[in-house]
Amino acid sequence: LLLSSSAALQLPTLRPQVISLPRLNAQPLWLRQQVAARACADADPPAAATGSRRAAMFAWASWGFYVAFLFLSDVPPGPNVFQTGPEFYDAVRDLSLNFFFVYPLIAATAAPVVDPTYEAIFNVAIAYSLLFVGFAADGRDSHVPGGFAPFLAAMPFATNLAYLPYLATRSTNPRPPEKPLSALEAAAEWRGGGAP
């Protein structure tokens, strides 16, 4: 079919349509978190205290289960704490002396020889407990005299035996800091959502 004139061919006129997209939030994530924290801090204090009590009860219950299951029961492999022999305590002493291989580097001939697998597991547990050093700077107090220092000192030796009671005695953070974050703090809190 041939068309003699271009007027006979009527093409629909295309008009651009405006689609409304959701507005993107240009605020950095750390600023949005501060605003959300302030909104939560203005919430009803008794409700926050109830949640805090529940969290403390959960931490104490977790600690009780941890102690009962790992140290007092015969369910996990190995003897319970009351049936361990002196060789176990000797191994723990030797592992403590070889803490992060410091003693073997200082006095290689005097350092005890320990199974490398045990030493690796022991050093991983110590490294895990060092992750909790950040709690010393979070601005929360503990209801225990001395604050976080006794828990921090016990964590390399007892890990979760000290960590769970700290969570149970830790005070809630009632309000975010009133002063704005410094440039260094803002950079440390930045998670990739705009300029820090």
Find the mean pLDDT for residues 12-20. Answer: 62
105 found inside a domain: yes
Predicted local distance difference test score (pLDDT) of residue 61: 93
Other C-beta atoms closer than 10 Å to the C-beta of 34 total 18
Distance CA 52, CA 169 (A): 10
Phi and psi, residue 83, nearest 5°: -110, 10
In a domain, 37, yes or no: no
pLDDT per residue as tens digits for the range 87-118: 988 988 888 888 778 888 898 888 898 898 98
Q: Where are the beta strands (DSSP E) in the chain?
A: none
Residue 3 lies in a domain: no
* Residue 1 domain flag: no
Q: How confident is the model over 39-82, as pLDDT tens digits? A: 555 554 444 455 678 888 998 999 999 999 988 999 988 888 88
Q: How many domains does the chain have?
A: 1
- CA distance from start to end of the chain: 65
Burial 113-148 (b: 16+ CB within 10 A, else e): eeeeeebeebeebbeebeebeebeeeeeebeeeebb
| Structural domain span for residue 93 | 83-172
CA atoms within 13 A on the CB side of 109: 0
Tell me whether residue 168 is in a domain.
yes
Does a structural domain hold residue 51?
A: no
Q: Is there a domain that residue 103 lies in?
A: yes
Residue scoring higher pLDDT (91 or 1): 91
Phi, psi of 142, deg, nearest 5: -105, 155
Residue 109 lies in a domain: yes
Phi-psi region of 93 (alpha: psi -120 to 50; beta: other; left: phi over 0): alpha
Query: Closest by alpha carbon to 156, among 105, 102, 76?
Result: 102
Note the pLDDT tens digit of each residue in 128-165. 888 877 777 666 666 777 777 788 888 877 777 888 88
Q: Nearest CA to 123 among 95, 93, 159? A: 95
Asked if residue 169 has pLDDT above 50, the reply is yes
